[in-house]
Chains A and B, each alone.
Chain A
Amino acid sequence: MATTTQQVAGVRAKEFQRPSRSLWKDAWYTFTRDRLAMFGLFILVFLVLAVIIGPYLYTGEQLIDFTRALEGPSPQHLMGTDDLGRDLLGRVLNGGRISIAVGLTAVFIAVTLGTTVGSLAGYFGKLDNPMMRITDMFLSLPVLPLLLVLVYLFRETLKGIFGPELGIFLMIVFVIGILNWMPVARLVRAQFLSLKQKEFVEAARCVGASDGRIIFRHILPNTLSPVLVAATIGVGGAILTESTLSFLGLGFPPDVPTWGRLLFDAGNFIDIAPHWVIFPGVCIFIIVLSINFVGDGLRDALDPRRKI
């Protein structure tokens, strides 16, 4: 009995000595304990660094040379060559930049839009019903078919205004963003509805804080962690969507080798050059998988209920 009391006292003393930890430090600690999440993070950082730095260090032979067309992997061409004899690794590295950039930008748009709608609907009771009706309607849209049609309809115009590469990039990013903000909006709205009843918001209002200040300084920071998780997983989804569009021939033009576009081009040579399919496909798969691992790890790390 006496020992247990002493032990408890000892533990207490230790607890008092422990330096204070912030939410983020705490989350990082939990995150580093999650082996799958750390593995995903490692692969993700490696891939991102590879596509950022890689094209400077390694370009491969990008000149058209039919004598080297459709070669399998070899020491000169680690991933083989395409039908025009261009080095595939160089193209994969270049294309990865665009695939990842599309994923990040599209999610940025979706999160910004979703957070705006969600906070307005959650904070201002009058806006709640109409805005949620719109959200529900967007949720009922057939996303992939509509994406295809939108890309087809607006491709030429945007190409004319911004040039072929930037035009298509902007269009794909916006279209994916506009059709994917709804889950974030619902999430943020739910958080706002519960948080605006809390005492600390009441307190802020009592000292005369304006609506804007309450939204931005007091409530929004508290909705950050679920939004972060949704955004992480959303990046994977956006990369998948872009590659699906490119694969169906409604994405980037042939000279922009995103991973989906490479697969689309490879489709006709599948019997003689399977390496052309395998490498870009594996890249898409690995990046989406590692993003999902990281997202799940974040969810566990940021959810206070899961901690003991």
Chain B
Amino acid sequence: MGRYIARRLLIAVPTLIAISFVMYAILALAPIDPLSQFGADPRIPPEAREQIRHALGLDEPWPIRYVKWIQGMATGNFGYSFMSHSPVIELLLQRLPNTLAVVGVAYIVGFIIALPIGVFSAVKRNSVLDHIFSTGAYIGFSVPTFFTGLVLIIIFSVKLHWLPFVYDSNLKVNDFGTLVQQLRQSIMPIAVLGLFEAAVLTRYIRAEMLEHLPLDYVRTARAKGLLERFVVVRHVLRNSLIPVVTIIALGVPTIFGGAIVTEQVFHVPGIGELLVRSIFQGDTPVVTAVLMIFAVLVVAFNLLADVLYAALDPRIRYS
């Protein structure tokens, strides 16, 4: 087991380096100069601008810049934002908790909704409720998240006036009143992501349960005289959740991608919103850093999925 994890880690590191290289190369070789925004102030004479660029090493060939950049990344130095002139790492640390809170809670909510529905749909296959739930799940993952978000705003903010329009990032939670306010403004972003995730997971849980229900060990459990709910929960569900755990881990990067959209809809100040804003401002150091964070997330959760799968399923050979 230990050796298996070590081997997966050894594959993950070069993958990450390759991804960072590709992304850096795309930015460096793009037809428009990603560094054009730097010192774009017309009051700076061209010679002075060249001097600044030279002093910062921006005129060096990009492979050299890449090596320097990755060395900086490894020591936690992500560079400085062109726009706010503050260290990129500071911006990221400001934004990341918001994204993690919304995404994390949404994921948990999604799983809590999906688990009972998926199990029920599989056990009562082809019942009326199963059809309703399955159709609901279909609808859930066919609706684009930005549309769900806008519809929720129309219903709950515009028509009913129940929930605030946009996310107030200056809100500090220090008493009961502000806590309620924080909850009220978080409901819609979490609901949008959570419902989407619930729809995806319901289908997987139902499919996995259906795969396991006709197996021999289930019949044996029933033949022993076990209560049906023990058979379903302790035997079928436990085994069915093994692949679902992998799906959950593999789905984390996707839901972070979904967070880009929801953060944009509700103006949640997370890293997705930071990415879109920095792209429009041409703030290359921030863009590269956020891209790299997403890449690390993908690789890390792929690794986690592999390890979890191997740990949970004794039939997997560690080779």
Contacts and interface: CB of A to CB of B under 8 A. Distances in A.
Is B a genuine binding partner of A?
Answer: yes
Nearest to B295: A142
A274 interface: yes
A141 B295 contact: yes
Nearest to A147: B257
Contact of B15 (A140, A149, A150, A248): A140
Contact of A277 (B34, B141, B154, B280): B154
Nearest to A243: B144
Interface string B151-171: 101100110000000000000
Which bracket fits the contact residues of A?
35 or more
Interface of A: 136-137, 140-146, 148-150, 152-154, 156-157, 236, 240, 243-244, 247-250, 263, 266-267, 270-271, 274, 277-278, 281, 284-285, 288-289, 292-293
B275 A277 contact: no
A178 B28 CA distance: 19
B32 A156 contact: yes
A289 B144 contact: no
Contacts of A154: 30-31
A281 B265 CA distance: 14
Contacts of B19: 137, 140-141
Given A141-B298, A142-B253, A281 B144 contact: yes
A171 B23 CA distance: 18
Contacts of B157: 271
B112 interface: no
A289 B253 CA distance: 23
Contact of B257 (A144, A156, A274, A284): A144
Nearest to A240: B144
A137 B15 contact: yes
A152 B31 CA distance: 11
B150 A281 contact: yes
B264 interface: yes
A248 B257 CA distance: 12
Interface string B67-82: 0000000000000000
A292 B142 contact: yes
Given A142-B256, A146-B23, A156-B31, 19 more contacts: A136-B15, A137-B18, A140-B295, A140-B298, A142-B294, A144-B257, A145-B290, A145-B291, A149-B26, A154-B30, A154-B31, A247-B146, A250-B276, A250-B279, A267-B150, A270-B153, A277-B154, A281-B150, A284-B147
B27 interface: yes
Interface in B170-215: none
26 contacts: A137-B18, A140-B19, A140-B295, A140-B298, A140-B302, A141-B19, A141-B22, A142-B257, A146-B291, A156-B31, A156-B32, A243-B146, A244-B144, A244-B146, A263-B150, A266-B150, A270-B150, A274-B154, A281-B147, A284-B144, A285-B144, A285-B147, A288-B142, A288-B143, A289-B138, A292-B141
Nearest to B155: A274
Contact of B287 (A144, A149, A263, A284): A149
